[in-house]
Amino acid sequence: MGCGTKTEPRAKWPVRVSTAIAEVSQPDQEDGRRSYVGVVEENEAVAVSFTTMGSVRRVLVSEGQAVARGQLLAELDDTQARNLLDGARASVAQAEDALVRYGQLHEKGSMTDAQWVEVQSKVAKARSQLAVAEKNLADCRLVAPVAGIVGRRAVSAGETVMPSQPVVTILDISSVKVRFSVPEADMASITPQTSTCIAVEAIQYETHGGRIEKGVQADALTHTYDVRVRVNNKDKTLLPGMVAKVQMGFDGKTAFSLPLTAVQRRADGSLFVWTIAADSTAHRIPVSIGSTLGNRVEILSGLAVGQRVVCEGFQKLSEGTKVIY
């Protein structure tokens, strides 16, 4: 042995250790913090209302009904609006007739320019009032601005509604969001591209989630953040309010959960675990860790499925030490 060379002493006899097998964390295991319970939300909700006050004559849709864009949803009593429209049409007819008659007088010089301008102004005013009356009549009909399903019907026939008072709420569920709460310790491990699996037990439905939206404001009591996962829902299978189970696989990396005692730290701060080879010898393997839950820690990289890891008895180990377990 050369001067200045120092090697770790190897145990003469096999060292007895306790081990665990590296397995992918399952969402339903105690250590599987990647399993959350959430609720399905609509992609967008549109509250539809009349722009004028009136008495509701009929509501043509019910809750849960699918509606198309432009479909008639409800109507107001339009008796007064029709009367005003008839009066406006009569005024336009009268003003246009006067325009023709006075036009002849103006051409003959029997009417001053000022009087002729006044006649023209009356025609323009009558036409403007007609446009307003037509708009008021049209406003008695409430049509769907978007396609979706009726989430809530707030009024019934016979009720008086005010402008901007919601009559029905239309939900866009062509895609939905699953909202769930995540502990603050887990937030750093979640990215917009984190892989997710969404399961709704009530309808025996399972699918992969899409892009993730992370909340930025924590709940003051629970210290959790709202996270939303987009889910394609073209067949309208998922409905708002359904309870969903969300399983997360952070960034597509294979994660293993091991007891905290399995992870050791070198003097330089790097982390490693002792693994057991097929010939029952111990070897250091560098690893990177994720979050902890209780007495366990998530291993993000460095291990493979089926590797045996030392959890207890590593104090006497050196590279290549024979072990029994």
Q: Indicate whether 8 belongs to any domain.
A: no
Judged by DSSP in three states, 106 sits in helix
Inter-axis angle of helices 113-138 and 79-108, nearest 10: 160
221 and 207 both lie in a single domain: yes
End residue of a domain, out of 222, 249, 276: 249
Q: Indicate whether 311 belongs to any domain.
A: yes
90 and 237 both lie in a single domain: no
201 and 274 both lie in a single domain: no
111 and 216 both lie in a single domain: no
39 and 184 both lie in a single domain: yes
d(CA 137, CA 81): 5
End-to-end CA, the chain: 32
- In single-letter form, the type of residue at position 7 comes to T
Q: For the domain that residue 155 is a member of, what is the CATH number?
A: 2.40.50.100
Q: For the domain that residue 185 is a member of, what is the CATH number?
A: 2.40.30.170
Phi first, then psi: give them for residue 265, nearest 5 degrees. Answer: -120, 130
The pLDDT score that the predictor gives to residue 27 is: 44
196 and 245 both lie in a single domain: yes
For the chain, give me the number of helices (H) and strands (E)? Answer: 2, 23
Report the chain's C-alpha Rg in angstroms: 37
Question: Please, what's the b/e burial string for 33-52 (b: 16 or more CB within 10 A of its CB; e: otherwise)?
Answer: bbbbebebbbbeebebbbee
**C-beta separation of 189 from 106 below 8 A:** no
End residue of a domain, out of 249, 277, 301: 249
pLDDT tens for the chain, 325 residues long, are 444 444 445 556 888 999 887 765 544 444 444 789 999 999 999 999 999 999 999 999 999 899 999 999 999 999 999 999 999 999 999 999 989 888 888 888 888 888 899 999 999 999 999 999 999 999 999 999 989 999 999 999 999 999 989 999 999 998 999 999 988 878 887 888 788 888 898 898 888 888 899 998 988 888 899 999 999 988 888 999 999 999 886 444 455 678 888 999 998 989 999 999 989 999 999 988 876 666 777 787 788 767 889 999 988 888 999 999 8
Query: How many structural domains are present in the chain?
Result: 4
Task: Residue 197: give the domain boundaries.
Answer: 35-43+173-249
The CA distances from residue 45 to 88, 115, 151, 158, in Å, are 38, 55, 8, 25
Q: Indicate whether 3 belongs to any domain.
A: no
129 and 39 both lie in a single domain: no
154 and 101 both lie in a single domain: no
Global pTM reads 0.56
127 and 162 both lie in a single domain: no
Phi first, then psi: give them for residue 124, nearest 5 degrees. Answer: -65, -40
129 and 156 both lie in a single domain: no
49 and 160 both lie in a single domain: yes
d(CA 244, CA 37): 6
